[in-house]
Amino acid sequence: TTSGAYKAAITADTHAFVTMLDPSQSGTAGLVYSTLLAGSGNHDEADAIAVAGGKIYVTGYTNSSDFPTVGPYQSALLFSFDAFVSEIDPTLSGTASLVASTYLGGSAVDAGRAIAVDAAGKVYVAGITFSGDFPITSSAYQPNYAVDGEAFLAELDLSAQTLVYSTYLGGSSEDEVKKIVVDPSGRVAMTGYTLSPDFPVTQGAFQTSMGINGNAFLTILDLTKARQGLVYSTYFGGSGGEVAYDLRRDNAGKYYLGGYSMSPDLLVTPNALSHSSAGVGVDGFVAVIDPAAAPLSRNSLVYCSYVTGLGNQIVYGVDVDASGAFYAVGYTGTNIFPPGAAQNDHVGKYGAFLLVVTLP
């Protein structure tokens, strides 16, 4: 922790931390800000981070009844685990660096898995809730809780201590958001996984029915339109089950996903790096979906490929640059690259990988 940390020491057990590094500096000078973020419970976990206007925003979940709150929308822990949302200003020191912090949840387990901030400073948080009384606004797209765990999306104004928007998202089985992206018009795109055969999908979506064991999804909501706010929603995957961990949007409105697949029948495009699974372990996948493609359905899949080899592969992060190059990172248990890659020989039990795909 740095001298300006909000919290420099904790008791035993597992607690969250937030660290800011400057890679242009050498040695300890590169540690700009680092703090623990915790109460006295035995588990505080930060699962997602966003940076906007020089502030750091984090979400996760906690079982600490004294998790630090500042100007909270929800001041108390309501069950064994609640989500939390915290805003940190690393230019300030000590307790002043925690600008805002709140619990978010109901009377069962809730966890924040994804966070984003728009140009106006509103904070969007998504994840999974098992609470039938999770705070839901009257403008929600889906006001009612089903069973077995539901995805949620919430918009918070931390400075005003208000919940601007909140909705469930899902069907009759477990659903979870892993990543969210706010587009320039304020619409919110989400990805993750669903086990619900009745997950909400839009007419003409790329994939309108779920595989046998659940699929990833891509869902876009317009939060200004309440019950009519579902702009686009599709399953993504095959018969074996998929989870998407990351999501990005390019300037043309296409969405880039990455995660893992256990399906032998994932629909890949002709220009894929790997057209089929190696059939050993878990495969990574990368995909590009264009919700505005006309006509919709199969034409909306711009690119899809397995990231596969004789071992386990998972894509944890994706990005896209202005030229349209698609970046994916994760880990692999084998060599996944064609000849000519910078490091073509896999060394060790597991290795990180960087994959760059240039789309036509």
pLDDT in tens, the chain (360 residues): 999 899 998 876 899 999 999 999 999 999 999 999 999 999 999 999 999 999 999 999 999 999 999 999 999 999 889 999 999 999 999 999 999 999 999 999 999 999 999 999 999 999 999 999 999 999 999 999 988 899 999 999 999 999 999 999 999 999 999 999 999 999 999 999 999 999 999 988 999 999 999 999 999 999 999 889 999 999 999 999 999 999 999 999 999 999 999 999 999 999 999 999 998 889 999 999 999 986 555 779 999 999 998 889 999 999 999 988 999 999 998 888 877 766 666 667 888 999 999 887
Residue 38: the pLDDT is 94
The H helix count followed by the E strand count for the chain is 0, 21
Residue 333: the pLDDT is 87
